[in-house]
Structure 1
Amino acid sequence: MCNQTTTAEKSSPTHIYFDSPEKHCRGTDYLCCSISDIISEAKSLFNLAFPIALTGLILYSRSIVSMLFLGYLGDIELAAGSLAIAFANITGYSVLSGLALGMDPLCSQAFGAQRHKLLSLTLHRYVVFLLFTSIFISFLWINMFNIMVYLQQDHNITRIGQRYLLFSLLDLFTNSFVHPIRIYLRAQGITRPVALASFFGTFLHLPISFVLVSHFNFGVSGVAASASISNFFVLISLVAYIWVSGIHEPTWEKPSFECLTGWKSLLKLAVPSCVLVCLEWWWYEIMIVMCGLLVNPKALVASMGILIQTTSLLYVFPSSLGFAVSTRVGNELGANRPYKARLSVAVAMFISAIMGLSALTFATALRDKWALMFTSDTQILRLTSVALPILGLCELGNCPQTVGCGVLRGSARPSTAANVNLGAFYLVGMPVAVGSVFYIGIGFSGLWLGLLSAQVCCAGLMLYVVESTDWEQQAKRARMLTCIDIRQPDDFDCNKGEVEQPLTCSA
């Protein structure tokens, strides 16, 4: 086991990647870990990440089914569906997912600190918060046609895309429940129910799509409706499993009017987490919009849709590891074990590097065959083949960057991660992409060169931030966050901390 030593002196900072074991074991407050400790931590991460990755692959297969049905309907339907999905991601799915991730540090640290009421209270608050947010997002989706025409997108593609969004409105409200429940369970190390529920919903997705699209000829509307219906079945089966199995009982509290209060504290984590997710998600969707401004937008938008589906597949693995390390870091900091949190980070970063190399190999090896699953159009095939190796290079940076984001979420630092993404994607990557496409004239591949420059910059900054973290200080912040510091003076008010006001205080 890793052992923590104590001293009155302040220790010098340690390098979690490169310092030798001898140096860690010499002096005070250093990380002394054997090979068995590292293997044990890797197993813990794997046990968390594997069901999450399985869930991601199941959900990805559902999106692939939708893309295949869109391709079956025709190239213009494929382009319209890609544009609608891009708009939905920018204005809806990324926002809900990002806001929900504000739960991560609260839930994982509260569970590590055995603050069970805080777990349930956070779940209730976020469900209400996301439902309110979904109402506002729905107004944007209803007006998608006017917005995209104003952005000079093709009228025919946009008109079909509008129908897709109208039949996806149910998905907003479904996700307002699914995201918080998923994080509530994951913070407790419970990931299997989500995988099983996702499998059940995806199992129904194919026959529902076939009936609505092929039998009733509902076209794009049928593709969207089938995705929304199958996701609703995911929610129903997930809630049923939880209730029947009783896995919620150790940490469950009945909803009360208390969940309608404390939103200021909630926003302190939810908004930066949302910005963190949206800055990266929006980049990919902005690339689709930029494709619509180039010559022959139908082929470019369709190819970009295929490539983004590819990145979604590759993203399943580092994101699953990122969620796992976020939970591990949050649990260990909440339990006041900063040395274990630091070990988890080091192991996760090493695994992320292996994932990046694997993704590069995959994208390069299948560059001439991958797009054949979606279309037979020669121009779309050529564009996709040229961009896939660049996409693979992007994953070398994306994997450690994604895991680094998980580390910062688990330690309640989403603002830091958001600043890194802002600088890398929009101050470095965006100028490179715009310059490559519209000034140098590289065209479609220039968009991916911009992404490559952004990912390299983002990975470097993220590694620096993670490596320079003071984990003892993060453990103190975790005690403030959950209001359980036993060393507080008798007259200490958890709402008036001298160092940092806690984000949530629960009895």
Structure 2
Amino acid sequence: MGEVNASNPDVGCEGLTKLGHKSLEESKVTWYIAGPAILAATFLFSIGFITVAFVGRLGSTELAAVSMVQNVIEGFAFGVMLGLGSALETLCGQAVGAGQFNMLGIYTQRSWIVSCITAMVLSPLYVFTSPILKLFRQSDDISKMAGKYSIWVIPQLFAYAINFPLLKFFQSQSKIMVITVISGITLMVHALLCWVFVTKLNYGLAGAAAAGSISWWIINLAQIIYLISGFFPEAWTGFSLLAFHSLFAFVKLSLASAIMLCLDLWYYTIVILLVGHLHNPEVAVDAISICMNFELWPVIVALGFNTAVSVRVSNELGANQPKAARFSVVVNLTTSAVLGIFFMVTIIIARNDFPKLFTTDTKVIKETSRLWALLSLTMLLNSIQPVLSGVAVGAGWQVMVAFISLGCYYLLGLPIGVLLGFKFNLGVKGFWLGMVVGSLLQTVILTLIIFRANWGREASRADERIRTWGGMTGYREGSGS
């Protein structure tokens, strides 16, 4: 090839031109999905962000209590519910690629059944938040206040059970713009509700919880109206008893998806609990909670690419186009890495000022600012890792990724964090450093696996998965490319 290009430069130029054109086309498709998904995820994340911002003005104990609930109780439940819904990314995405739209509504209804039952099982965690936190030796003041707040946000738990399967249903068909508009309008409503309930009427934490629950159910109501309004004639034909068929097999795949996601999210929960054992826990919890709120921003952006690459990979594998699936991975990873560098540089520039968005407490500001270097590196890793997870979901590798997360975070990252945090007295910085080590190792391993994968074999597995879950055979015309 080198000799041909040397004698005829036009051949090499033509190849580069084709590659550039192909990359541009894939980038357009990616941004068509990722752009609205990023906005939708940003709006949804900002519901909690705005809640914390309003609560932070009530006092440091109130901020620590709400942060504890959001990162421990709600973080635990959020991970489970979103993980259960993520099974639809594999099933619905590959069914769309294979042209089996009739199965999408059935899959969604099965996921609703599983998710609502799971929400009922998780409800006692909200009811007994106070004694649970005390069991983990959190301060009495924080535990008591967090216990009251968690009971008030139980309606949000059941909102997750309805919302996440719906979201995957829309995403698998690249129908995201309407969801983005709904989320944006609701965010403005939520800000108004927080101002009225928390600031104007002085309802405190109860008002903040009520504002959040109302906002999430507004989103659900609007999405259900969109679902049943006739925009999905093939994918949604109404409720069916078929939703109760093959539930056991569906639960197994859902649990694999939930475990994969939860192992990542629960690590943050454990870190928050461990930080609560440090000296002056209010300041320590506030500092790491502020950093976690910031480091979630690149995650939100990356989740847009997570959605895009999951949809693209599952669609292309379902359509028996393995090379197209692999090329989409490259484009998504490159784009997300560039954005990650932007977030990293932003934190470096604003290293002494970013905590001021959440608090006026000088001790908290000083403690939080000390974490800027680790936070900036985390920003980069969190821009890449969700995209790798999206590839895994699109290909149906949830179980394998769960074992990788277990080893990287819990067998390596967590022990390092505990050792540095307690033994070497590095406090919050030590715990965060352990988290960075685990995240870096996971990113490297997933990258190697993805680029060494046999995508033709993955396309064959997608074919088998579609037939196993109710799709029809004989639908393909072309061979894999």
| TM value normalised by structure 2 | 0.92
Which one of the candidate residues 293, 303, 318 is aligned to 2:287? 303
Identity of aligned residues (%): 27
**Cross-structure match for 1:74:** 59
Paired amino acid for 2:204: G
**Which residue does the alignment assign to 1:497?**
none
Mapped contact 1:367–1:384 kept (Cα < 8 A): no
2:143 to 158, 162, 182: 158
Matches within 5 A, 1:19-418: 34-244=19-229, 246-418=230-402
CA–CA separation in structure 1 for the residues paired with 2:234 and 2:265: 35
Q: CA deviation at 1:267?
A: 2.4
Instruction: Give the conservation status (yes or no) of the 8 Å contact 1:89–1:285.
Output: no
Q: As a proportion of its length, which structure holds more helix? A: 2
- Measured in 1, the distance between the counterparts of 2:297 and 2:382 equals 13
Could you tell me whether the CA contact under 8 Å between 2:326 and 2:455 is conserved in 1?
A: yes
Q: Is the contact between residue 299 and residue 380 of structure 1 (CA under 8 Å) also seen in structure 2?
A: yes
8 Å CA contact 2:95, 2:471 repeated in 1 = no
Query: Counterpart of 2:234 in 1: which secondary structure?
Result: helix
Instruction: Describe the SS at the equivalent of 2:391.
Output: helix
Task: Return 109-118 or 355-364, whichever deviates more.
Answer: 355-364
Query: Contact (CA 8 Å) 2:417, 2:433: kept in 1 or not?
Result: yes
CA 1:144 to 1:214, structure 2 compared with 1: closer, same or farther past 3 Å? same
Amino acid at match of 1:505: G
1:89, 1:282 within 8 Å by CA — same for their partners in 2?
A: no
DSSP-derived class of the 2:157 partner: helix
Distance 1:279 1:89 in 2: 15
Letter in 2 for 1:340: A
Task: Give the Å deviation of 1:386.
Answer: 1.1
Q: Secondary structure at the match of 1:73?
A: coil
Pair 316,149 (structure 1): closer, same or farther in 2 beyond 3 Å? same
For residues 134 and 256 of structure 1, what CA distance do their matches in structure 2 show?
Answer: 22
Q: Could you tell me how far apart the structure 2 residues matched to 1:241 and 1:98 are?
A: 23
User: Aligned partner of 1:384: which letter?
Assistant: T
Query: Per-residue displacement from partner, 1:399-436 (whole Å, max 9, x unpaired)?
Result: 22211110010011111111221111111211110110
Q: CA deviation at 1:506?
A: 4.6
State whether residues 299 and 379 of structure 1, in contact with CA within 8 Å, keep that contact through their aligned partners in structure 2. Answer: yes
Letter in 1 for 2:253: L
Q: Deviations over 1:183-241 (max 9, x none)?
A: 00110111112111111211111221122222332211111111111111111122223
CA distance in 2, matches of 1:62, 1:398: 20
- Give a deviation string over 1:228-255, Cα, whole Å, max 9, x none: 11111111122223434x3222311222
What CA distance in whole angstroms lies between the structure 2 residues aligned with 1:216 and 1:357? 42
The letter of the residue matching 1:240 is: I
- Distance between the aligned counterparts of 2:432 and 2:215, measured in 1? 33
Residue 415 (structure 2) pairs with residue 431 (structure 1): yes
Aligned partner of 2:364: which letter? Answer: I
Q: What letter corresponds to residue 297 of structure 1 in structure 2?
A: P
Report how far residue 33 of structure 1 moved.
5.9
Deviations 1:148-205 (A, max 9, x none): 1111111111111111111111111111111111100110111112111111211111
Q: Quick one: which amino acid aligns to residue 196 of structure 1?
A: V
Instruction: Give distance in 1, aligned partners of 2:341 and 2:216.
Output: 33
Other structure's SS at 1:451 match: helix
Contact in 2 for aligned 1:103/1:269 (Cα 8 Å): no
- The residue type equivalent to 2:108 in the other structure is L
The runs of 5 or more residues in structure 2 that have no matched partner are 7-16, 473-481
**Residue identity matched to 2:193:** I
Is this contact kept in 1: 2:385–2:443, CA < 8 A? Answer: yes
Equivalences, count: 460
Distance 1:224 1:414 in 2: 33
Q: Are the equivalent residues in 2 in contact too, given 1:200–1:233 (CA < 8 A)?
A: no
Structure 2: distance between partners of 1:414 and 1:33: 34
Tell me how far apart the structure 2 counterparts of residues 211 and 481 of structure 1 sit (CA, whole Å): 50
Distance, in Å, in 2 between the alignment partners of 1:43 and 1:90 is 33
Conserved? CA contact 1:364–1:392, under 8 Å: yes
Tell me, yes or no, if the aligned pair for 1:89 and 1:281 is still in contact at 8 Å.
Answer: no
Deviations 1:341-397 (A, max 9, x none): 011011112122212212211221111111111111111101111112211112333
The worse-fitting range, judged by mean Cα deviation, of 361-370 and 396-405 is 396-405
1:459 corresponding residue in structure 2? 443
**Aligned-partner Cα distance in 1 for 2:72–2:451:** 36
1:480 to 1:33, Cα distance in 2 relative to 1, 3 A: farther
Partner of 1:473: 457
Equivalent-residue separation in structure 2 for 1:352 and 1:88 (angstroms):
30
- What is the RMSD of the two structures over their aligned residues, measured on CA atoms? 1.8
Where structure 1 has 5 or more consecutive residues not aligned to the other structure, the ranges are: 1-20, 23-31, 484-501
Name the amino acid aligned to 1:256.
S
